[in-house]
């Protein structure tokens, strides 16, 4: 954007994602939800394959 608008002054603002403590708290709060999703049995339709003998 600076190339397109060289007369504009850009300032990088602080972001909560820059805080390692916040990231740790967010990860810790997400872990139980992720574990719960992973513990649910998956019901995938299994693809049946056959071996073709071309002899």
Model confidence pLDDT, tens digit, residues 6-53? 899 988 888 988 999 999 999 999 999 999 988 887 666 665 656 656
Alpha-carbon distance values, 55 to 21, 48, 51 (Å): 63, 22, 12
Q: Which residue has the higher pLDDT, 5 or 55?
A: 5
State residue 3's pLDDT score.
Answer: 86
Cβ–Cβ under 8 Å, residues 1 and 10: yes
In the numeric block, the tokens 């872990």 are attached to 31
Residue with tokens 């071309």: 54
Q: Residues 6 or more apart from 2 whose CB is under 8 A from it? A: 8, 10
pLDDT of residue 25: 93
Res 22: pLDDT: 92
């Amino acid at each position: 954007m600076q190339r397109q608008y060289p007369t504009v002054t850009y300032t990088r603002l602080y972001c909560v994602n820059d805080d390692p403590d916040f990231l740790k708290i967010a990860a810790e709060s997400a872990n139980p939800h992720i574990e719960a999703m992973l513990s649910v049995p998956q019901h995938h339709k299994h693809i049946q394959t056959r071996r073709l003998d071309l002899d």
